[in-house]
Structures are given as structure tokens and as C-alpha cells.
Structure 1
Amino acid sequence: MFLQRSAIAVARRAAVAPAVRRTLATTAVRRDAEVPQKKYKTLSEVKTADDLFGPGAEPGTVPTDIEQSTGLERLEILGKMEGVDVFDMRPLDASRLGTLSNPVLIRSFGDEQYAGCTGVPADSHNVIWLTMSRERPIERCPECGSVYKMEYVGPQDDHHGHDHHHGFEEPKSFADFVKPEYH
């Protein structure tokens, strides 16, 4: 009796469901019509901030990253399209210990730059974050003693009197009282 019921159930399922199930498949649609290619500005053609606005997508379509990106994101995408690392995201030189006479150089476009030291050799201590500024470009890691120096490569000052930070004074450190060159 049990075999009779299971045979009937299998027969019902076979009648309803096909023997070979079709898997999910995708197909590519080939269009014979020529699709016009949009002309985007290259990295060398970008001169002002207005050049960093995307054209947007055509109505009814989903925009791509190059069509909808603006500002620094667009600058980075244009650079990647030409093989240029705009923000220089390479890791710092951790193969040597920076000294006062030969520090590890860190390029910066801003007035302030943060660098994470993991020690020499690399990963010999936890990350210690160091802050360098244009007024104080050299910092020493308190754990391993490696010296880092910020090299400012941004735009030159406009000398409109904005150099002071509203009365902010850098706090004193022990280096201020020991040797001026440690500062």
C-alpha cells in the first residue's frame, strides 16, 4: 500500500513538473543600431571646479558612475580611466627608520596630514596616529622613534590674513623645553 501511494505521488509530480528543469539563464541583446558614445573631459582638460560635474543620464536610463559623479569622486574616476592615482594612495616607505636628517616624506595637499606609524620593521607595534601641519611639519613616533615629515604640495597661500586659527596656540610639549630642533 505504501508503494502504491508513493508511485501515485511520483506520477502526479512527473505530470505537473517537467523532467529537466531549466536553470536561470541570461542572454545578451545585440543591437544593430550604432550607439553614440559620449565625450567626457579628460583629466588634463579639467581646469575649474565646474569641469567636475557629470552630464547625468538620459531620461529613462540608469546613470553610470562617470555620468553621475561630481567633485573629487569624478576627479578620481577620470584619473583611474587614464591610469593616474590622483590621491597617491600608495603606502608609506616602511622599509627604513626615518631620522631627523632623513625623515620619511609624506606629501600633502592640505594644511594638516595624519599618518599612521606601525613601527620599523612594519607591524612591530600597534598603529600610532601622528598629526603634522604646515606650521609643525615634523613628527616623531613615540613608540619606535621613526621621524615623518609633511611635504606641502598644495596651492600657495593667498595671504589674506587667514594664517592664524582664531587665537589657537599649539600646546607645549616636552620637546619645547629640551631642544628646539626636536620640535
Structure 2
Amino acid sequence: MPGQPDPHMVPFEEVRTEDDLLPPGAEPGTVPTDLDQSTGLERFEILGKMQGVDVFDMRPLDASRKGTLDNPIVVKSAGDEQFAGCTGYPVDSHVTLWLSMSRDRPIERCPECGGVYRMEYVGPPDDPHANHGHGEEHADGHTNYEEPKTFADFVKPEYRGTP
């Protein structure tokens, strides 16, 4: 019944496991809504939005200034890598250039305008026993994966401004 709480729906603040993100489905003979049929992260996002919580923080990046090595534009990421699109400062002063940051290389500088971005990891704590897909793991816990070289590998360390 519209306007009535669904007894099968777990409220956003009570979601603890993946099982809490399984929907009840629609009543026979009706067209299901997104809330009736969404599962997993999509359902988690919808439940959050119903209570005014933007679980993925989809706000635009700070475009009121150009990031510098001393004061970069911070890009939050729950994963090991993140892409950010730079359009220059002032905004739209050049075409969008996509910059790639990672936990191993969190600072990136736009080659067009010089704006500096820094990835801030906000994901779960590391599992020291996890193999993150970076090559074949050996008995000693090391992998044979080597990240491909880019022009950033040849920048002098004093120019990098690593914090």
C-alpha cells in the first residue's frame, strides 16, 4: 500500500549484510519499481537517497581553484584507483582530460593546465593476505607484477611534491 512502510524492507541504517539488500519483489500483476527489484549496491544507494544520504558522494570536485602540490584537489576513492576529469581553471578552459590516480601513485598533475589532484583512499582497511590481482602470487607473498612505466616515472622526486 503506497505511503505505508514495507515490512519486508530493511531500513538504510539497519543494513548489515548482503541479504539485507534483497528486495521483496512486486505484487503479482503489478509493474515493479526500482525499489521493488533493485539489489546490492543499487538498492543500498536507493535506500540511502530515501533518507537523504548520498552513499557514493557524487558531488562535483572543487572547481573554485586550481590544485597545487601544496594544496591539491582531493578526490576520494573506495577503490585502489580513481579517474578524475580536469577541465582546467577557470572551469572549461580546456577539454576534459582524464587523469588516473592510484594508491601507489596518489598525486597526478594535469598536463594542460598544471592542476594537481590527490586521491584519498577511503575504502576498507587492507587485508595483508589478499592478492589484489596484481600478478601471480609466490610462496613468499610477493608478486611478479610490475606497473607499466609512464612519463610520471621520469619526473625528478623533488618536482613530484610527494607528501
Band of TM-score, shorter chain: 0.7 to 0.9
| SS of alignment partner, residue 153 of structure 2 | helix
Higher percent of residues as helix: 1
Question: Structure 1 residues 34 and 109 mapped into 2: Cα distance closer, same or farther (>3 Å)?
Answer: closer
Q: How many angstroms does 1:159 deviate by? A: 1.0
The answer for the alignment partner of 1:49 in structure 2 is 18
| SS of alignment partner, residue 100 of structure 2 | strand
Give the counterpart of 2:146 among 159, 162, 169. Answer: 169
Runs of 4+ in 1 over 6 A off after TM superposition: 33-36
The answer for the alignment partner of 1:123 in structure 2 is 92
Larger Rg: 1
Give the TM-score, by structure 2 length: 0.84
The answer for the alignment partner of 1:76 in structure 2 is 45
Mind listing any 5+ residue stretches in structure 2 that lack a counterpart?
Answer: 136-143
Q: How many angstroms does 1:57 deviate by? A: 1.4
Q: How does 1:142-153 map to 2 (within 5 A)?
A: 142-153=111-122
Give the counterpart of 1:63 among 22, 27, 32. Answer: 32
Q: How many angstroms does 1:89 deviate by? A: 0.8
Whole-angstrom CA distance in 2 between matches of 1:35 and 1:140: 50
Whole-angstrom CA distance in 2 between matches of 1:179 and 1:61: 64
Q: How many angstroms does 1:74 deviate by? A: 0.4
Number of matched pairs: 151
Whole-angstrom CA distance in 2 between matches of 1:112 and 1:157: 14
Mind listing any 5+ residue stretches in structure 1 that lack a counterpart?
Answer: 1-32
Give the TM-score, by structure 1 length: 0.75
Identity %: 68
Whole-angstrom CA distance in 1 between matches of 2:41 and 2:75: 20
The answer for the alignment partner of 2:156 in structure 1 is 179
